[in-house]
Amino acid sequence: MNYKFLLFLVFLILHALDSEASPKLFKADSLFKSKKYTESKAIFSEIIATGKASPALLLKLAYINEGLGNYVQALFHLNSYYILTSNEQALEKIRDIAEKNDLVGYEYSDYYFFRNLLIQFKREVEMSIFIILMFLTFLSFRKKRSKRSFRTIIYTQISMIFILGILVNDLFENDQAIIKTDNTILMSAPSAGAEPIEIIEKGHLIEVLSRHDTWIKILWYDQEVFIKTHKLLFI
């Protein structure tokens, strides 16, 4: 009884949140269509803060920010959109903005395309692997089987479990972030007293290696350096 009540309560909360976001989204869309971009941007940002970032909403925010000259936020929303959709046109737009502003880190490879597809269809891939594992388990318990086929099933199961572990623990997802402030200092160690390595401008896309309190270790031109957390927009 308590379990059913808990499920019902969760449903009511989710429905209330969705009902609250819908009027806001309608208002923001109306403002966007009326070309009142600043007002619509504020409401779109509020909706994103609640975790309801649809691809269409991200695309509109990217469009607004680019029009307002805020290429950092435009790149942030376009990257988020690309992760959700793997859209080639979005990727071309990202490269175009990066090239115009002389930014580094936006050289996407086939690996990133494949990774984004895995992120986009992660639940479906996990369920497919789980079903295959169940089927292989059924085959392994059949009475009539050869020793060779049994080994093949076991090795396949081990491989599937390994892949599933990578997906469940998000081990293939390397954090990325965009530098959001100008005159950002890269340090040799996670300390204000460390040796400065370089001063860089906003907009560059970097790979996050690890976190150290208020510092982030990043990779900058194959060199490990440190940067303050509040200087980054995490994708």
Question: What tens digit of pLDDT does each residue of 118-146 get?
Answer: 666 777 777 888 888 887 777 766 655 55
- Mark whether 24 and 94 lie in a shared domain: yes
Residue 91 lies in a domain: yes
196-200/184-187 β-pairing: antiparallel
164/180 same-domain check = no
Distance CA 68, CA 152 (A): 59
Instruction: Check whether 36 has a pLDDT greater than 60.
Output: yes
Is there a single domain that holds both residue 98 and residue 131?
no
Q: Count CA atoms within 13 Å of residue 151 on its CB side.
A: 3
CATH number at residue 199: 2.30.30.40
Residues 163 and 185 in one domain: no
Tokens of 40: 């619509």
User: Structural domain tally of the chain?
Assistant: 3
One domain for residues 143 and 52: no
Is-contact 164 129, C-beta < 8 A?
yes
Q: Domain range for residue 229?
A: 176-234
- Check which CATH number belongs to the domain holding 29 and give it: 1.25.40.10
**Does pTM top 0.75 for this prediction?**
no
pLDDT tens profile 52-99: 788 999 999 999 999 999 999 999 999 999 888 888 899 899 999 999
